[in-house]
Amino acid sequence: MKTLFLLGGGGAIGGAVKDFFTQQGYTVLAPRSKELDLSDEKAVVTYMKQFTTPVDALIFCAGHNDPAEVGQLTTQEIKKTYQINTVSFATIVAYLRKQFEQRKQGHILGISSLYGTISREGRAAYAMSKHAMNGLIQTLALELGPHGILCNTLSPGFVMTPMTQKNNTPQMIETLARKIPLGHLASPQDIARVAYFLCSEQNQYITGQDIIVDGGFMAGGFQHV
């Protein structure tokens, strides 16, 4: 039985990923925030020093996004966003790297965002963290490719989640849906199915890529959000 180590399994997308992989026969290890506080660098190091379970895939789905425009955005908020969204991911990969290399196989997937490619007002900290995640994954693809490990990011477009509803008014969500060629926001399950493809045996040759799953939004609908 294969094992997935999933961070952020308590969120809407993470929960869908957990359910889908479980349905495919995976054992899913998904520590909650009480077990692993990704905002605390020391807590992440302490947890990973004790983590010895062999894993076939790592998916980092945790995320922090508290919109604020530059000028109101504090250094503390930038650091918190980076720590949760990027630094903790890099730390976890560093601890798992040796076991992946020894096994000569595996998949690493970071759940990024359209804001790892473009941005939007009030999303400076979040966009910065996701651009950094994409750069990390590209570097990992180069370093780990010779060991048979495939590393990618998956960038969801607009997904109907509590975070989307928190950060957008109902009117804005309706506007976004009209700008998506498929005419509706994604479901968490839409993202989970692509995550499974990228981290399963079905994917043998895609690495170093940012796979955008947005219903066609980036093909042109992003203008004047």
Amino acid 223: pLDDT: 57
Question: Percentage of residues in the chain with pLDDT exceeding 90?
Answer: 82
If pLDDT is split at 50, 70 and 90, which confidence band does 222 have?
low
What amino acid occupies position 82? Y
Q: Residue 73, Cβ neighbours under 10 Å: how many?
A: 17
pTM of the entire predicted model: 0.93
Q: For residue 32, give the 3-state DSSP assignment.
A: coil
pLDDT at residue 101 tops 80: yes
Least trusted range by pLDDT, from 10-19, 33-42, 99-108, 157-166:
157-166
Amino acid 167: pLDDT: 78
Q: Supply the mean pLDDT for the chain.
A: 93
Q: What is the mean pLDDT of residues 21-40?
A: 96
pLDDT at residue 122 tops 80: no
Amino acid 69: pLDDT: 80
How far are the Cα atoms of 77, 155, 198, 206 from residue 211, in angstroms, in the given order?
A: 28, 6, 9, 10
Amino acid 66: pLDDT: 67
In the chain, what are the domains? 3-219 (3.40.50.720)
In angstroms, rounded to a whole number, what is the distance separating the alpha carbons of residues 81 and 101?
29
Q: What is the mean pLDDT of residues 53-80?
A: 88
Summarised one tens digit per residue, pLDDT across range 158-207 is 999 987 888 789 999 999 899 999 999 999 999 999 999 999 999 999 99
- Sign of the torsion formed by the C-alpha atoms of 178, 180, 181 and 184: negative
Least trusted range by pLDDT, from 89-93, 119-123, 166-170, 175-179:
119-123
Amino acid 64: pLDDT: 80
Which tokens go with 176? 């976004």
Amino acid 192: pLDDT: 98
| Residues identified as active-site | 126
Amino acid 34: pLDDT: 92
| Matching residue, tokens 């949760």 | 84
